[in-house]
Amino acid sequence: MKVTVTLLKPSGKYYTTEEWTVPESVRDTSPMRGSYWRETMGPYDMGHSIDFRRIDGGAVLIDSQEPWGYPHLFPGPGMPGEPPAGLT
C-alpha cells in the first residue's frame, strides 16, 4: 500500500509530493513488553517507511487519507515534536 506525503523545505515552503510505501510492521518498545514487532497503526509509523526522506532536513507531512483519515507532521530536526535521533 502507498500513501501520499508532502515534503517541505527547511523554510517550511512546499517542495513536492511523493507516494511512499506503508510499512507492514514496525519495531516498538514498551516497559512491560520490551522490544517487539507490531502492525502499522497510524501515519506516525511512516517514519519507518523504506521511502522516508527529508529535503535538506525539512518537515514531512503525511496527508489525511486512507487508511488513517488524519494527518501527521514530522517536524524538521531540532523542532518541537521531533523524536530523538534514530527513531525515524
Query: Is 47 inside any structural domain?
Result: yes
Query: Is 9 inside any structural domain?
Result: yes
In tens, the pLDDT along 45-80 reads 999 999 999 999 999 999 988 888 899 999 877 655
Query: Is 81 inside any structural domain?
Result: no
Query: Is 80 inside any structural domain?
Result: no
Q: Does position 88 have pLDDT exceeding 50, yes or no? A: no
Separation between Cα atoms, residue 88 and residue 86, nearest integer Å: 6
Query: Is 28 inside any structural domain?
Result: yes
Separation between Cα atoms, residue 56 and residue 72, nearest integer Å: 19
Read off the pTM.
0.77
Containing structural domain, residue 29: 2-74
**Count of domains for the chain:** 1
Query: Is 66 inside any structural domain?
Result: yes
Query: Is 88 inside any structural domain?
Result: no
Q: Does position 34 have pLDDT exceeding 70, yes or no? A: yes
